[in-house]
A and B are shown apart, each in its own frame.
Chain A
Amino acid sequence: MEYLVSHYNYWIYTLLMMLGLYAMLAKNNLVKKVIGMSIFQTAIIVFYVSIGAKREATIPIIAHGHGSDAAHAAIDAMHYANPLPHVLMLTAIVVSVGTLGVALAICLGIYRRYNTLEEDEIQEQLQ
């Protein structure tokens, strides 16, 4: 029980990731597959952000950061959340929106060519 409570973020991110994976594999409609890809990506971002979280820590912006004397005050690393996963995930979110744009453009191109968005109808037309 203690293990379950202390690790619950990993259960949640695994559940969301498998939800996205199932949607990408088993759904018929192409746009639903793209939605599954987006859910997959946000689940990965939940994982990394939850690694960077710290109990009783504040956001990674140094308070009272103005002025030249602030640089010499002691900054305790325990009081701030870990900024490295946040940086990596900022890049991941922006890349994911680029990927989403290209994926939806490909879906539009497929619709223009085959006049349907369902995968099995496209496979029938291909044969």
Chain B
Amino acid sequence: MIWQIDLSVLTLIVICGFATIMVKDLLSAAIIFGAYSFLMCLLWTEMGAVDVAFTEASVGAGVSTILFIATAFQTTRKVKSRKKGRIFSKIVGLTAAVIMGLVLLAAQNNFPGFADPGSPASLHLSPYYITKTLIDTAVPNMVTSVLADYRGFDTMFETAVIFTAGLAVIAILRRVRLADRCDLPEPYTISAGYQDTIIRFISRQLVPFIQLFALYVVAHGHHSPGGGFQGGVILGASFILLAITYDMDLLLRRVNEKWSVLLGNIGVLIYAGIGFICLLLGANFLDYSILHKILPATGPVMARSHGMLGIEIGVAIAVMAIVITIYANLASHGKLDKGL
């Protein structure tokens, strides 16, 4: 909670935020947004939120930037500037923002001070989680145990939301029949014969290590910052790296559309399936301590830890499949033949 680091990083964040909105080129806006996300990740690490910072670094600064670049690749890169028009909407926007900002700032009188250990948010429920997580679940990472065990319902529906987002992207963009393919001119000509040996070789060497690290993040989420989401996004990002450095064909030969939707399904099914197994064995839904009856040589406390690992694996599979689906559909404008 070093306020000097806080203030300098916050100043850089505000500058990056202004720059992202004002720049006249979509590709530059995407890159500055990536820098903004990395600075946010730094800020949250400094405030003590390492899991949130890890997720933002992989999701916000990694995948979001490539999604923006894929969109700018398929549409247009220039942002047309208007000198005189749209004054009305600018005034409305500025007025609404200023009034709402003043209302929010006026409400701050009753808020507790920054980093106050006695603030009401830290006094009622979270001391129970902090003191009891090792006794109840044998998992030192409090965020993972609250995410996957104490608040497991939220995480299940969040995985379902991710899956629904992938389905929505397929529903909006995917064109299969030849009659649906309208002929837009290609915005950029990809030089067809251009293959770069260095980039392809290095990315081919790095992808196994990236995937191994992603599996390590999923499995080690109980003792270090990590967990299912971060590992799943890193796995998806390794496939996106292959798609960028080679062709989209390579990605689609390995993970074709049927398999990616199927894997998304399987991920959510693993999560809900573990919950149902707990129901069948006689306990509540997603109450993992009853799993010690079918897992060999564990007690009720360790069974909760293993149940958490099971659902993290389900979440990782689902998130990986959906990240690949969203990227493949965005980068090839739904046709899934060639892309970025």
A binding-site residues for B, Cβ under 8 Å: 5-12, 14-29, 31-32, 35-36, 38-39, 42, 45-46, 49-63, 65-66, 70-71, 75, 77-78, 80-87, 89-91, 93-102, 104-109, 111-112, 115-118, 120
A–B Cβ pairs within 8 angstroms, 22 of them: A10-B108, A21-B100, A22-B93, A26-B93, A35-B33, A39-B17, A39-B21, A42-B60, A45-B52, A51-B121, A52-B47, A52-B122, A56-B1, A60-B143, A61-B143, A83-B126, A85-B121, A101-B166, A104-B68, A108-B75, A111-B74, A118-B80
Secondary structure at the B interface, as helix, strand, loop or mixed, is helix
A38–B17 alpha-carbon span in the complex (Å): 10
A71–B47 alpha-carbon span in the complex (Å): 26
Contact A9 B114, CB 8 Å, known A23-B21, A117-B75: yes
Is the C-beta of B173 less than 8 angstroms from some C-beta in chain A?
yes
A32–B21 alpha-carbon span in the complex (Å): 6
Q: Chain A nearest CB: distance from B90 CB in Å?
A: 5
Q: Say which residue of A17, A20, A63, A65 sits within 8 Å of B104 (CB atoms).
A: A17
Is the C-beta of B168 less than 8 angstroms from some C-beta in chain A?
yes
A residues near B141, Cβ cutoff 8 Å: 60-62
Secondary structure at the A interface, as helix, strand, loop or mixed, is helix
A residues near B238, Cβ cutoff 8 Å: none
Q: Are A120 and B86 in contact (CB under 8 A)?
A: yes
Closest 3 CB pairs of A and B: A65-B140, A26-B93, A98-B165
A residues near B90, Cβ cutoff 8 Å: 26
A residues near B333, Cβ cutoff 8 Å: 108, 112
Contact A108 B59, CB 8 Å, known A21-B100, A42-B40, A118-B80: no
Contact A57 B48, CB 8 Å, known A12-B14, A21-B100, A77-B127: yes
From 157 to 176 in chain B, residues with beta carbon under 8 angstroms from any chain A beta carbon are 158, 161-162, 164-166, 168-169, 172-173
Which residue from chain A places its CB closest to the CB of B24 in the assembled complex? A29
B residues near A78, Cβ cutoff 8 Å: 117
Bitwise, B92-105 to A at CB < 8 A (1) or not (0) is 11101110110011
A residues near B76, Cβ cutoff 8 Å: 111, 116-117
Is the C-beta of B319 less than 8 angstroms from some C-beta in chain A?
yes
B residues near A26, Cβ cutoff 8 Å: 86, 89-90, 92-94
Contact A65 B134, CB 8 Å, known A35-B29, A94-B319: yes
Given A25-B89, A94-B158, A102-B172, 18 more pairs with CB closer than 8 A: A8-B7, A14-B104, A19-B21, A27-B21, A28-B80, A28-B82, A39-B17, A46-B44, A50-B47, A60-B142, A66-B140, A77-B127, A91-B147, A105-B169, A105-B173, A106-B172, A108-B334, A120-B85
Q: Are B131 and A75 in contact (CB under 8 A)?
A: yes
Bitwise, B64-81 to A at CB < 8 A (1) or not (0) is 100110111011100110
Q: Are A93 and B142 in contact (CB under 8 A)?
A: no
Q: Say which residue of B20, B36, B48, B70 sits within 8 Å of A81 (CB atoms).
A: B48
Q: Are A18 and B130 in contact (CB under 8 A)?
A: no
Is the C-beta of B223 less than 8 angstroms from some C-beta in chain A?
yes
A residues near B151, Cβ cutoff 8 Å: 87
Q: Are A99 and B111 in contact (CB under 8 A)?
A: no
Bitwise, B306-340 to A at CB < 8 A (1) or not (0) is 00000000000001001000100110011000000
Q: Say which residue of B48, B70, B155 sits within 8 Å of A59 (CB atoms).
A: B48
Q: Chain B nearest CB: distance from A57 CB in Å?
A: 6
Which of A15, A17, A106 is packed against the most chain B CB atoms within 10 Å?
A15
A98–B133 alpha-carbon span in the complex (Å): 30
A residues near B71, Cβ cutoff 8 Å: 31, 104, 107-108
Q: Are A60 and B130 in contact (CB under 8 A)?
A: yes
Q: Are B140 and A80 in contact (CB under 8 A)?
A: no
From 17 to 57 in chain B, residues with beta carbon under 8 angstroms from any chain A beta carbon are 17-18, 20-21, 26, 29, 33, 36-37, 40, 43-44, 47-52, 55-56
